[in-house]
Amino acid sequence: MEVAVCESPASAGRSLSNWDLDELLALTTLLIEAASDSDAIYWDLIEPALTVWANGEYTLDRAFYERVIQPFIAAYTSDEFRQAATSYESLYRDRSASVRLRLDETLSPAFINAFTSEFRITPDDVIDVLGELVELAAERNSVVVETTIGELRGRLIARGLSTDTCTTFVSVFALFHRPNWDRVPVGFRRKDISPWRYGRRLSVTARPLLVFGVTDSDTVIYGLGTLRQSLAYLLDRTERGQMPADFFTTDAMKAYLGAVNHERGHAFAESVAEALRRDGWQARTSVKMRELSAPIEYGDLDVLAWTNTGRVQLIECKRLQLARTVAEVGEVCRRFRGEAMDELAKHMRRVTWIQAHASSVSKVIGIPVIAENIEARVITDVHVPMQYLESLPIPPQKIGPLNTPL
């Protein structure tokens, strides 16, 4: 759809046959596969050695996929399945409400202000527009709706929304025709149009209205399911700080994401400490290294945990986005290689200093400690590909969610 809104003619041309569609899907699959291999080479996950065969196919060593990506995805989907199974009964609870709540009654003022600054429309106005588009689909008795810019604007104004609000919604949430799909528009980046990337600002998920012009008579197409999923996804993930900062452009939204991620990162560390306490450990959060007499540039320990026997865990807590593509796996692995002061190297630097000054820990926790009983741990909120990497300065089993043993 993202390509077609740009490349397919609005009139003339020829109809798409089933054969054409099969070929298009096959070529798209090949494009994504080749792009994934390219990303794997770029991120130094596989050797850049290809064999190109006479029929145009190519092969390369995909051992990394089998060793890291496949078990990583399998572990994640297994957890997702178990979580879904345990919450199955919730699907049958009565969720009807007698009174409709406005979003400003359920969302924080900070989020509403940041959202309005970024998109120039309030979350409540977005929901009002969604309601009108759902009603239009119901009237047409179709989950795919074709209308015009003029009809859409007229219905929204009749609903009580201003002309400016209508114009803003379309400009922000519509994917417009442009002369060439593969030419990046001003203000966007190559990743915003690459089909093998997630978080594209020019995707149908981010912009669920397909618009073929700017005049009142020009066509607008949307799918009801895509529309509802898209807006719910955007509101929910942005409010929870789970959208990448580079998806947005305003300082207000980036400041909001920074603040909410800092707050939830601290809450995650507290939840890890509390889980350890329930398991018989003693634990503190946000322990400054200078309290252990280390130089100030060593920063903080997210969690310091210990037992009465003198066993000590130095824990780095990380809330991470799930790595869904080869490029995202490569990016996460780059941040945690334990090299050049990346995020793992900074933690291991603290661990090495503490192991060399074990008495400093003894003074803080009041229990004799020896270096051999001080261990490093990285606890994440999701499964991460580093759990399957080799040659890290920390055993892979010491990286991952808390459901793996300490």
What are the structural domains, with CATH classification, of the chain? 4-9+18-61+120-249 (no CATH), 262-400 (3.40.1350)
Q: Residue 126's pLDDT is what?
A: 92
- Residues 265-318 pLDDT 10s: 999 999 999 999 999 999 999 999 999 999 999 999 999 999 999 999 999 999
Q: CA nearest 253: which of 302, 201, 204?
A: 201
CB-based contacts of 112: which residues, under 8 Å, 6+ apart? 103, 104, 122, 123
User: Cβ-count burial of 72 within 10 angstroms (0-12 exposed, 13-18 middle, 19+ buried)?
Assistant: buried
Global pTM reads: 0.81
pLDDT above 90 for 323 = no
- Residues 133-155 pLDDT 10s: 999 999 999 999 999 999 999 99
Structural contact between residues 157 and 163, judged by C-beta atoms closer than 8 angstroms: yes
Q: How far is it, in rounded angstroms, from Cα 302 to Cα 304?
A: 7
- Residues 191-217 pLDDT 10s: 999 988 988 999 999 999 999 888 999
Structural contact between residues 181 and 6, judged by C-beta atoms closer than 8 angstroms: yes
How many residues make up the chain in this entry?
406
Alpha-carbon radius of gyration of the chain:
26
Q: Residue 244's pLDDT is what?
A: 86
Q: Residue 53's pLDDT is what?
A: 94
Other C-beta atoms closer than 10 Å to the C-beta of 301 total: 26
Over residues 165-180, the mean pLDDT reads: 92
Paired strand residues for 312: 306, 374
Report the mean per-residue pLDDT for the chain.
89
